Amino acid sequence: MLKRLSSSSSCLQARVHSLGPNLGLHPGPTELASPFLRVLGSLTGLARPNSSRRAFFCSDASDGSDQVVEVEVKKAGTDGDAESKSSSAIVPTNPRPEDYLTVLALPLPHRPLFPGFYMPIYVKDPKLLAALQESRKRQAPYAGAFLLKDEPGTDPSVVSGSETDKSISDLKGKELFNRLHEVGTLAQISSIQGDQVVLIGHRRLRITEMVDEDPLTVKVDHLKDKPYNKDDDVIKATSFEVISTLRDVLKTSSLWRDHVQTYTQHIGDFNFPRLADFGAAISGANKLQCQQVLEELDVYKRLKLTLELVKKEIEISKIQESIAKAIEEKISGEQRRYLLNEQLKAIKKELGLEADDKTTLSAKFRERLEPNREKCPPHVLQVIEEELTKLQLLEASSSEFNVTRNYLDWLTSIPWGNYSDENFDVLRAQKILDEDHYGLSDVKERILEFIAVGKLRGISQGKIICLSGPPGVGKTSIGRSIARALNRKFYRFSVGGLSDVAEIKGHRRTYIGAMPGKMVQCLKNVGTANPLVLIDEIDKLGRGHAGDPASALLELLDPEQNANFLDHYLDVPIDLSKVLFVCTANVVEMIPNPLLDRMEVISIAGYITDEKIHIARDYLEKTTREACGIKPEQVEVTDAALLALIENYCREAGVRNLQKHIEKIYRKIALQLVRQGVSDEPEVAGQIESPISRIDGPNESAVVEAQVAETDEAKVEDVDKLDQSVVASESQTASESLATDLPVEPAVGEIQVADTDEPMDSKDAKKTDKIQESEAIKTVDKVLVDELNVADFVGKPVFHAERLYDQTPVGVVMGLAWTAMGGSTLYIETTQVEEGEGKGSLNVTGQLGDVMKESTQIAHTVARAILLDKEPDNPFFANSKLHLHVPAGATPKDGPSAGCTMITSMLSLAMKKPVKKDLAMTGEVTLTGRILPIGGVKEKTIAARRGEVKTIIFPAANRKDFDELAPNVKEGLDVHFVDDYNQIFDLAFSDDQSKEK
C-alpha cells in the first residue's frame, strides 16, 4: 500500500496529477518501486483509457493509524450528487475506520466484498437507504457488507432465479441477522444515486451481536491478518505461483486483463494478503468459495485457496479457447469452401467449360419441347418463346426468375397434341371387362358402344360417364378396367370434401407456392392428352370460403367447353375434348343439377346372391388365397358356406364386406395350417421332412418329449376352436369320417408318439420315421369350410331372415324400400289404440321424413274412401284412433313410394283380413287412388328375392324398367303392374288373384 499521505496539498495534487490526463490511473514512480506491482505491471501493459474511474487508497502506517483517501475521476455531469460534481475530488475521512464498532448491516446476495475492491449494490429498503444517506452526511460513510446465506435445503451451485432482490428486501430484523455470514467487510459508502449504493471494501469484520432490527445494526470486531514472515520461502513460492498462473490466464482472457489493469492503477503497493484477495475477487468461483477466502486470516492458507481458484480459471480458459477455436475452424472452413466454389464457377465460365444457369435452363426447356413442337398449338409456342426471352433478362437471384422458371417447367411438361394409340377391338374389350368384373351388363354395353363409335369414326371423342351405386359395387375398379380395355392411361383423383376451386382451376402465378389444377397435373403425370380420368366421390363435393368446386367442374366436364379449358396457372387454353371422364357417386341426388346435366348416368344397383357367389368364387377367393400364401389344394370353401356368408353376414349391395369376411376366413385357415405344421414344411428329394426329423443335438430326446407333451395337452384341453375345423382327405372314407368335425392333431400326435419309441440314432429308424411322417401328413389335404362351421371363422351371424312373420298378422304389410346400400324390405304396421264415437285420428312413428309423413295422411284419406266403397256400413276409421309404425325406429326413412303399402295396412286392420304372407308392394299413391312410378326397381327386386317374396306389386309405369333387368334377377317372381289402388285391393285381399304381368 501507499505510505501515509502527507497532509500537504502539494503532495496530494501531485498524487492526483499522476492519474494522467486521459482519465486512466497510471502508477507513479513510487508505486512502480514495488516488486509485485512491477510483475503485474509487466503482465498487463499500459492501461486502457476509461471514461470513468474510481480510485481509492488505503494505507496501513507502521504506527497503526489508518487514513483513507478516495479519488473520483469522471466525465463532467455524470454524477448528480453535489459532492461529486467536480472532475476530481479528495475526501479525507475522519474519524478512522477502526473507530466504527457499530455499523449498518448490508446483505450481499451474490458475492462477498473484498478489501480493496468496490461493488455497486441496490438497496430497496427505504429505511436502510435513508440511514445510509444520513451516515454519509454526518461524515460517517461506513457500513458492514455481509454475504447472505442460501436458503436451507438449496444448492448454491444451481441457479433457480427464485431469490431476487425483492425477496432479499423482505428479510428484516432477526430473520436477516440469522441469514448473514459472520465475517464480512467494512465498506465505505462512496456514492448514493437513487437506490444504487457504491461500496469500497476496507477491512474484515466479524459480527458479534445485533443492536437494532430496522434497519439492521450490528456490533462488529475488526479482524487483522495473522502475523506471517515476509521472507518465508513457501509463502513467496505460493505467491509467485499465483502470479504465474495469473500471467497464463491473462494471455487468453481479456476480461481478467481489464481487472488487473484497474486494480494495479488503484492500488499502489501489493503484498501477500492483497494478492490473495485480488485473485479470489476477480475469479469466477462461487460465493461460498470466495467467502472461505474472506474468512481465512492465515495468509499462507489464503494464498493456497486463491491458487486453487486461479488454477480452475486457467482450466476454464483452456476450455473456452478450445471451443472458440473449434467454432472458428468450422466457420472458416465453410467460408473457404464457398469462396473456392465461387472461384471455380467463375473460372469455368471464363473458359467456356460451363454455361450459366439461365443458358442451361433455356436449353433444357427447348429440348423438352422439341418432340412436340409441331403438335403444340401456335398460341402456346408464342407464350413459351416470350417466357424464354424473359428468363434470359432476369437475374437468377430475383423472385420473378423462379416464377418464370416454374411456369416454363409446367408449360413444357404438358404433352401438347401427344395422344396414345387406342385399341378399338370390341371383342378384346369384352374379354377384358369380363375378366375383371362379373355381371354389370349395362356398364359393359355402354363401354362397348363407345368403342364401336370410335372404330367407325376413326377417332374417339371424350365423354363424361357417371357410375352411381352403393359402396363396394366396383365403381372405381370399373374405371381402371375401362382404361385397360381402351389402352388409355389411367389417372384417378378424389374430390370428396374438396372445397378449394384452385384444386380444379389452379392458382394464380402471383401467389407463393402456386400450382396448376388437377387436370394439368394429370396430363403431366400420364404423358398423353387422351387419358381416362376417374373423378371419385363427385357427390361429396364441399363448398368453402375458397369458392364452389362444383361450379368449377362445369367447364371441365362440359363437352362443349373443355376443348378450351383454361387453367389459372398456365393461363393458356388446353384441349381436354379427347379425355374420357368417368365419375363415381353413391347418391346421384347429391350432385348439383347443372353438373349432373353434363354427365351420362349409369346406375349400378348392386349384386344379387348368385352374382355375389360367382364374384366370390372367381375373383375374391382367388385373390385372397394368393395373398395369404395358401395353395388351392389345401382349402375348400363350399358353395353352401359362401351362401351362408352372403345371406347371414354380407347382405350389402356391394362385395367389399364380403371380401373382408373371406380374408378373415383365410387368415384363420393360414394360422391353423401353420400350427399343424403343414403349409411351411419344405420338400426334400420328393419327401416332406417332418418336424421331428429336423431335431438334432444332445437334447434331441428332450425336445421330442416336449412336442409329445404339447400334442397330448392339445388333445385334452382343446384350447383353439379352429383346431376343431373340418379337414377333408382325398379318399371318400376319410371325408365321411371327418364330416363330424373331428380334430386332426390327435392322429398326428399319435404318430409322433410312435416315432419317439424308435431309436433316434439309427439310420434305418430315421428313414422309417420319415416315411411314417410323410404318410401321416399326406392325409391332411384340405381344410373344409361349410355352412356348419363358418361361424367358427367369422363369428355369429349379423343378419337374420328379413321375414319377421311366417304368417303376416292383420294390419301388417311388407313394403320395398331403396337405400344407399341397396334395396331392403320394410314392414308397415298399423294397430288400433282406442275406439269411440268420433275419435278417428292417426299417429305415426318410426323416424319418418316430411314426405313420408304426408304419405301417411294421404294413405289415411284414401283408405277411408276405399273402405266406404267396399264396406259402407263399417265405421272403423271414423271411430278409431290408429297408430302406424315403420320399423326399425332408429333408421331415418323418407320418400313417397310407401303410399300403397300404408293404405293396404290400414285396410287390413279395418277389415280384419291379413294380406298374403309372400306379398310385397311399392308405389306412390294419389288422393284419387292412382299409382305413380317409383325408382330403384332393380334394388327393390333384389330386396324382394332376399326377403323370400313370391309376389311383387309394381306401378304400371315401371314395367319397362323391370323388363330391362337381367333374367337371373327376375327369375321365380310373380310380378303385377297396377295403375290404380283398386287393383292392389283385389290382389292383396282376394283369394282369386289375376296373373297379369
So which residues are the catalytic ones? 897, 940
The DSSP call for residue 617 is: I
CA distance 712 to 725: 18
- Strand ordering across the sheet containing 53-60: 53-60, 66-73, 88-92
CA distance 859 to 877: 12
- 902 burial level (CB within 10 Å; 0-12, 13-18, 19+): buried
The Cβ of residue 487 has, within 10 Å, a number of other Cβ atoms equal to: 16
Phi-psi region of 123 (alpha: psi -120 to 50; beta: other; left: phi over 0): beta
Alpha-carbon distance values, 689 to 272, 705, 764, 932 (Å):
94, 19, 16, 72
Cβ atoms of residues 275 and 246 within 8 Å: no
The Cβ of residue 744 has, within 10 Å, a number of other Cβ atoms equal to: 21
Any binding-site annotation on 470? yes
Locate 707 and state its grid cell.
412336442
Q: For residue 231, which amino acid is it? A: D
Helix (H) or strand (E) holding 188: strand 183-193
Any binding-site annotation on 936? no
CA gyration radius for the chain? 52
Any binding-site annotation on 471? yes
Angle in degrees, 0-180, between the axes of helices 299-351 and 272-281, rounded to the nearest 10 = 40
Which of 927, 935, 860 is CA-nearest to residue 897? 935
Cβ atoms of residues 200 and 190 within 8 Å: yes
At residue 105, the 3 state secondary structure works out as: strand
Cβ atoms of residues 187 and 156 within 8 Å: no
CA distance 576 to 494: 19
Which of 527, 449, 520, 535 is CA-nearest to residue 488? 527
Task: Tell me whether the omega of the peptide bond preceding residue 888 falls within 30 degrees of 0, making it cis.
Answer: yes
Q: How many CA atoms lie within 13 A of 439 on its CB side?
A: 25
Any binding-site annotation on 474? yes
At residue 879, the 3 state secondary structure works out as: helix
Which of 885, 906, 969, 895 is CA-nearest to residue 932? 895
CA distance 936 to 955: 12
CA distance 170 to 640: 90
Q: For residue 638, which amino acid is it? A: T
At residue 353, the 3 state secondary structure works out as: coil
Q: Which residues pair with 584 in a beta bridge?
A: 467
CA distance 486 to 429: 7
Any binding-site annotation on 727? no
Cβ atoms of residues 267 and 277 within 8 Å: no
Phi, psi (degrees; rounded to nearest 5) at 826: -145, 120
Any binding-site annotation on 473? yes
Cβ atoms of residues 245 and 237 within 8 Å: no
Q: How many residues does the chain have?
A: 997
Alpha-carbon distance values, 766 to 278, 311, 680, 745, 749 (Å):
93, 80, 21, 22, 17
H helices of 681-762, where?
700-717, 732-738, 745-756
Locate 293 and state its grid cell.
477466502
Which of 905, 817, 830 is CA-nearest to residue 866? 905
Phi, psi (degrees; rounded to nearest 5) at 980: -145, 145
H helices of 458-535, where?
475-486, 502-505, 518-526
Annotated binding site for ATP: 469-476
Residues marked as binding? 469-476
